Amino acid sequence: MPTTPAVSHLPPTARGRLPVIGHALQFVRGPLNVLQDLRGQGDIVTLQVGRLPIHVVNSPQLLHRVLVTDAGSYTKGRMYDKTRPVVGNGIATSEGAFHHRQRRLIMPAFHRPRLRGYSEAMREQAEAAIASWLPGQRIAVDRAMHTMSVGTTVRTLFGTGIDNRTIAEIDSCVGVFLKQVIVRTMTPNLVESLPLPGTRKFEAARKRLKAIVDTILDERLRATQERDDLLSLLIAARDEESGEPLSRQQLHDEVVTMIVAGADSTAYTLSWLLYELGRNPAVDARLHHELDTVLNGRPVTFDDLPRLAYTQRLIQETLRLHSVSWIQMRRTITPVTLGDARLPAGAEILFSATTMHRDPGLYPHPLRFDPDRWLSPHQREAFQPFSAGPRKCPGDHFSLTQLAIDIATIAARWRLVPAGRRRVREVPAAVLRPDHLPMVVRARS
């Protein structure tokens, strides 16, 4: 008669632990290398960051249990604690019944009929962003895409009444914040109370972003004119059970969450996509052929997107190889059994979509950029660009729509080729971004 495997109390500790600091120094120096190495050490392995144990889940099946099957046994965890001072209690950081209510109120703003309307603003913003490009011009693609993405997020949220100076200020605030999130997650809480330069910049950016959003909210809540933007939908939303609207504080937190969560992830996914097109001329040629065939020289529309099959595979492959949400965390609410491990309440859990997406056991030749790998079925649990379960990103279809509209708009007019031979390095900050991405603009022939 088969026996049930014994369940140990804690997962094994990762190799290379140092006295006092544990794995903290290794992680700060090269977090992706550390997490990639852990994939060969077990389905769940413990990193010791100072005195804090963090349990890294490598198995797609165990991760599915954390995110989907047993999602009610976990809260968002330490990284989101460090995010909350900026985004408040928005949908990304809220928990329990409050989170479920927020999700019910917000999700209609991301349904398909609304995406059709947003797609026009997305295309217009992309067209404006590339209108000043010139053949032979060298541009910093990562910065250009970030500016464009912030502009798109702000415009779909607030409409056309926000000036470029305010958009630039929002862009700057988000940049400061996202540089600090991972540092705060992996350092003791005491560090945040010290008057360090990074702490002062973080607090100044938080206050400035709050002031900008408060000013816009005050104006919109006083206005009587109906508008067709995302903020108007949030203001008009009513709870189907109680009939209550979002409070002013909830509106503030959701708006800041959308600005912070949306702009960077889309901007850097688009940057990596353009990087891969520049490195892979055959892929670039197939994209241009599809755009020429489907669009025939006209601007892309929302209804074109289902017919852009290769473009969609190109986006999927970019989300796999360059998953910008490279690290996420959860915290156990009660003791849980996960694989062969028994974790106590309050245990910190970490998982990395990026390293999972680069596992050769899940994706053959994982470092090869191959959009056609998506012609074959894949294990759903092994592809998590937007997380999964009840905490899955509510803006996933918004992001996919924006990526498709943006790349179709850019590639219909321009080709971008690498400038120079310096290797582009991945920077694992709050999102996985390129350290620099200079490219040269070439006109489509």
Residues annotated within a binding site: 393
For residue 417, give Cα distances in angstroms to 146, 147, 277, 315: 18, 20, 8, 18
What is the DSSP secondary structure assignment for residue 12, as one 8-state letter?
P
**Cβ neighbours for 375, distance < 8 A, ≥ 6 positions apart:** 313
Are the CB atoms for 287 and 311 separated by under 8 Å? Answer: yes
Of 217, 132, 203, which is closest to residue 414 (Cα–Cα)?
132
Question: How far apart are alpha carbons 139 and 439 in whole angstroms?
Answer: 6
Query: Does residue 131 sit in helix, strand or coil?
Result: coil
| Sheet-wide strand order for 414-418 | 138-140, 438-443, 414-418
Q: Which residues pair with 364 in a beta bridge?
A: none
State the pairing for strand pair 52-57/348-351: parallel
- DSSP H helices, 223-363, are 230-236, 248-279, 281-295, 309-321, 353-357
**Number of neighbouring beta carbons within 10 Å of residue 406:** 27
**Number of neighbouring beta carbons within 10 Å of residue 287:** 24
* 303, two tokens: 């209804």
Instruction: Say what the alpha-carbon torsion angle 400, 401, 407, 409 is, to the nearest 10 degrees.
Output: 180
Report the binding-site residues for heme.
393
